[in-house]
Amino acid sequence: MPFFARPRMVWGVFLSLGLPTAPPALAAREENQAWITESVAIRASETDIVTLDMSQRFRRAESDDEQALFRLALDHRVARGVLVGGGIAYVEGKAEEEMRLFQQVTLNQGIWLARTRLEQRLFDTADRASWRLRQRVQASVPVDRDKRWALVGAMEVFFHLNRARPSDKSGLAAMRHQIGLRHAVGKAMDVQLLYMRQQNFRDHRPDAVAHVPWLTLAWKI
């Protein structure tokens, strides 16, 4: 492929990710956050991968202040580029705590990755489980010959399938757009830095929009 054609291909990919954008938020409440994630992927067998990750989310008091997430997942390869799995997560915040079960299907083909995840969220402030569906689409485009650097773009939408509390919102609940760079430091470690725009849709109130620099350190064993 001629070199001058690559920028067109790259920007075409990321423009396509941005097409399903949310309607403009009127008088949205905006804030800045910062997230850090550490992840370890362990190849337990030829077809099974165990992933441990934890995240620290630095947020304002109006957004329930700082939050920590711990997650354990097991994915099983059922076909080339197809993983089926699930796991458990724990989210600790000052306002509430959450235990989360999830099931997911991940498709990987070339530069594209698509993940569908169904979550059952158990809050200490609710008597019933909150069900959430997440759909993520991601593209990772190498930008050098050694493929150590990649331009990453992603879009993810969140749907609440029920109301665990009367004040909860059902339907489209949030949308994330991400763009950034990933660098392979070595065979076993990647560093990724993204900018994420997260928009939470709220009934009868302005939407909440967060601008988040997100640093991820990922190890493979």
Name the architecture of domain 31-220: Beta Barrel (2.40)
- Angle CA(99)–CA(176)–CA(159) in degrees, nearest 5? 55
Beta bridge partners of 121: 100, 130
> What's the whole-model pTM score?
0.86
Beta bridge pairs of residue 10: none
The CB-side HSE value for 128 (13 A sphere, CA atoms) comes to: 10
**What are the residue boundaries of the structural domains of the chain, listed by start?**
31-220
Q: How far apart, in whole angstroms, are the C-alpha atoms of residue 185 and residue 132?
A: 35
Q: How far is CA 168 from the centre of its chain?
A: 21
DSSP label of 24: P
Local confidence pLDDT in tens for the 221 residues of the chain: 444 445 455 545 555 565 555 555 456 789 999 999 999 999 999 999 999 999 999 988 666 679 999 999 999 999 999 999 999 999 999 888 999 999 999 999 999 999 999 999 999 989 899 999 999 999 999 999 999 999 999 999 999 999 888 878 899 999 999 999 999 999 899 999 999 999 999 888 899 999 999 999 999 99
